[in-house]
Amino acid sequence: MVRATRILAVTTALGLATSVYLYLDNRSLEQELAERPATSPAPASKVASTDTAPSADPWTEPSKRSAKLPVVAGAAPTLPEEPKESRMERRQRRTEEFSAQFGRHDGETEEEYRARIAPLISTGLAIPRMRATENRRLAEEKAGVTPEQSKKLDAAFDKVYADVLDYTNKAITDGQLSPYERNVAGWLDYAGGLGGMLGEANGQIGKILTPDQIRTMAQSGFEWGEYLGLSAPWEQLKPPPPSKPAN
């Protein structure tokens, strides 16, 4: 029970972070591709065919070769090497990118923020959500979960999702979860409180499914914590407060 609660807390918190990571990782790859110098295909070697190439004139060829200027071999010119980005510099850059993307822009309303961020979250979680839904279907089928039981689970999860969003919105409003700073302590406190609040989800599942069904689904590799973390409607979160001007 304790293990399931911890898994539920961590995976639910990571559900929102998944879309963030996919966005930043995609931005990083795009930047690396943009900075990479374009390469042109090497010219095909011109090999003269014995059938079509004219034979060299033994009387004029020596004079042609002697008339050519000598070619001095040397290393090709190179641009000075750009300074490499350190790990801390990369972390700072990504923090700034995160803030620019998920923070409130200057003068941006809550409606404008939602219109900008909600599609990003939906796109980032689309494929993981599809896989989680399919995994649940297969696990329920293997465990003999009835359609009525599945509907009762969905109704119970609606209450869990509402509680999770309320809790997360408060953490965002209080600055515990902030797009403007790297607050590891706040993230850990949030995950801990989430675990305690979501412990009742396992109790609700136990009231709907039999112990044998729960055990069969777990043995199939299905995790309720992972499913709930991905399926929560993170798109409905309230926007963060506007960033404070730097002193």
Q: What is the pLDDT of residues 22-57, one digit of tens each?
A: 444 555 555 555 555 555 555 544 444 444 555 555
Instruction: Average the pLDDT over 103-114 and give the result.
Output: 92
DSSP 138: H
Question: Is residue 120 included in any domain, yes or no?
Answer: yes
Percent of the chain with pLDDT over 70: 66
The predicted model scores a pTM of 0.63
Q: Which of 70-79, 100-109, 149-158 has the highest mean pLDDT?
A: 149-158
Asked if 223 contacts 201 with a C-beta cutoff of 8 angstroms, the reply is no
What count of other Cβ atoms lies within 10 Å of the Cβ of residue 229?
28
Its domain, for residue 215, covers: 2-28+90-235
48, part of any domain: no
Element (H, E) at 201: helix 184-208
**pLDDT surpassing 80 at residue 233:** yes
Q: Locate 179 and state its tokens.
A: 């797009």
Supply the mean pLDDT for the chain: 77
Structure tokens at 46: 């011109």
Domain membership of residue 139 (yes or no) is yes
pLDDT over 60 (residue 116): yes
Q: Is residue 34 part of a domain?
A: no
Number of domains the chain is built from? 1
Is 247 within the bounds of a domain?
no
pLDDT above 50: residue 3? no
Pick from 234, 3, 239: which is nearest to 111 by CA?
Answer: 239
Q: What is the pLDDT of residue 198?
A: 75
Whether residue 73 is contained in a domain is answered as no
